[in-house]
Structure 1
């Protein structure tokens, strides 16, 4: 075979190989790590990690003698997300007690994630899961309807400055553990006509009265 023919053959083979690799990479239904990672990241782009396990509505009122209630709100006041005013709340027969009123500041409203299902309710969210490694997956196929169980590690991406502040992490211990290092979790993925999607996922565990978890 002449040199020009050899070069042509090699060039054709290279182009075919690249096309095959591209086609494989673009096949969203293929059972591979790339698609599993994409499915989990896509799911959590719409399911951020937030301070409270359930959305709340501001303004709120807390007894100044109850540090378990005020400490978390006060940390958010320090970060400029809430404004605090004091008041005296009258109690039937027993007199009155001092309370703090907390409401969203302008900065807080900008950082607030509204709950679309409950007008007026929302949460302060501090990041989205981003898969760092796929550790294991149960056997599956690229057929529509196929499922697989995924074990993976992730980090929380795009944490705002208020979430990394020492005062906030002290008041909300879950913040520190969530942002400190890669976490492990699990998810069930189902293959659809549009590719792999998360069908069920394990949320962050709420380990403190001031801690939050994923709002699902």
Structure 2
């Protein structure tokens, strides 16, 4: 191989590498790398938590209302909440049994405060991470372009309390998330700073349902 041919091959290889780097660094390019980055960035700011809405502790519920007590009792079993019972007067001559729940020492260390609502928070058990981009709708690299992404996500390093059978029974979304790769979809929009998630149907955990089918807020 003469020196001129060798030089040409080196130049072609360098140009190819430069092009690959340019494509990889272009956050507005319509490719799986940028889609994955956009969805993972969204998930990093939106951890998966047990309750669909932030909770405030201590809280008190009627002991006989199992649709409300069951999720809290599961967290008592995991040492995240402390439970006490009491009598509460509802009329001058009547009363009802109530159950009080508050954060335990272990629960406080696992508690994620809601910065928008002082005194409220949630128990978060990790964040999703894209494992594969399965498909995307036709789009361009132009600012303002949108695309529908179908993908799979996984979970890792979930705390022990989240993996417990009691928690999975009380919070079905946890059982789903931790069972293996899950399918999901998201809408991405191209911005001046690259692709960003603008709509993701699976962003929030599914509402907690008790055995009677009622949704626990």
- TM-score, shorter chain, exceeding 0.5: yes
Aligned Cα root-mean-square deviation (Å):
2.0
Q: More deviation in 117-126 or 172-181? A: 172-181
Residue pair 1:112, 1:123 contacting (<8 A) in 2 also:
yes
> TM-score if structure 2 supplies the norm length?
0.88
Q: More deviation in 43-52 or 83-92? A: 83-92
**CA distance, structure 1, for counterparts of residue 158 and residue 146 of structure 2:** 32
Deviations 1:112-139 (A, max 9, x none): 1221111111111122121122122111
Residue pair 2:137, 2:149 contacting (<8 A) in 1 also:
yes
In structure 1, what is the equivalent of residue 74 of structure 2?
A: 75
Correspondences of 1:173-184 after superposition (within 5 Å): 173-184=172-183
**CA distance, structure 1, for counterparts of residue 119 and residue 205 of structure 2:** 25
Matched, 1:206 2:206: yes
- The DSSP-based 3-state class of the residue aligned with 2:132 is strand
Matched, 1:155 2:154: yes
After TM superposition, give the deviation of residue 170 of structure 1 in Å. 1.6
- The DSSP-based 3-state class of the residue aligned with 1:25 is helix
**CA distance, structure 2, for counterparts of residue 27 and residue 157 of structure 1:** 29
Deviations 1:155-180 (A, max 9, x none): 23432211111111122222112221
| Count of residue pairs brought into register by the alignment | 210
**CA distance, structure 1, for counterparts of residue 119 and residue 157 of structure 2:** 25
In structure 2, what is the equivalent of residue 14 of structure 1?
A: 13
- The DSSP-based 3-state class of the residue aligned with 1:23 is helix
Correspondences of 1:103-142 after superposition (within 5 Å): 103-142=102-141
Residue pair 1:128, 1:158 contacting (<8 A) in 2 also:
no
**CA distance, structure 2, for counterparts of residue 93 and residue 206 of structure 1:** 40
**CA distance, structure 1, for counterparts of residue 200 and residue 169 of structure 2:** 28
Residue pair 1:48, 1:127 contacting (<8 A) in 2 also:
yes
> TM-score if structure 1 supplies the norm length?
0.88
**CA distance, structure 1, for counterparts of residue 205 and residue 124 of structure 2:** 15
Q: More deviation in 118-127 or 200-209? A: 200-209
**CA distance, structure 2, for counterparts of residue 132 and residue 38 of structure 1:** 11
**CA distance, structure 2, for counterparts of residue 207 and residue 54 of structure 1:** 9
Structure 2 unaligned regions, length at least 5: none
